[in-house]
Every structure is written in structure tokens, then in C-alpha cells.
Amino acid sequence: MATYTPNFPGSNTIVEESWREGRATGQAEGKAEDILHILEVRGVEVPGSVRERVTGCTDLDVLGSWLDRSLGVTRAEELFVVE
């Protein structure tokens, strides 16, 4: 029995892969900005090394953890402490 597999223009191509990568990059950048904004609003000083590490991260799960931690840390470096 034959199986129908639709092949829409752009599906499974470099165009689709590029779109996915761009979307993931945008999500990571957005989370990084949110983390830094939360720290700023809370009055937590953010050294350049922390800012670079946060903005350079592309792992959405890691950024999600840092976002959660940004709500309660007293020093920006505490974002990276694993309990």
C-alpha cells in the first residue's frame, strides 16, 4: 500500500531549516532580553560578563531556567548557580 507524503514548496528544504533556526534564535534573544530586563527592574546590577553570557546563550531550556531564577536572585551571577 502506498503512503502519501505531501511535499509542499519549501518543506524539508534549506529554506524551512533556515526559518526554524531564525525562529529559535529570535526566541532565545527574546528570553535573554527578558532576563536582563527583570534584573534591571529589580535593581540587580548586571556586570558585562553576565550580560555577555546571557545574550550569547541559544539554549532555550537554559534560558528558561535563568529566567525563573532572575525573579529571585540578589546578584546577577546567581543565575548560573545550579542547586
pLDDT in tens, 6-58: 566 656 666 556 656 666 677 889 999 999 999 999 999 999 999 999 999 99
pLDDT value, residue 4: 65
Domain extent at residue 65: 29-80
- Our count of domains for the chain comes to 1
| 5, part of any domain | no
pLDDT value, residue 27: 85
**Between the CA atoms of 63, 65, 70 and 75, what dihedral angle is there, to the nearest 10 degrees?**
-100
CA distance 82 to 59: 16
pLDDT in tens, 56-80: 999 999 999 999 999 999 999 999 9
| 76, part of any domain | yes
pLDDT value, residue 82: 81
| 24, part of any domain | no
| 44, part of any domain | yes
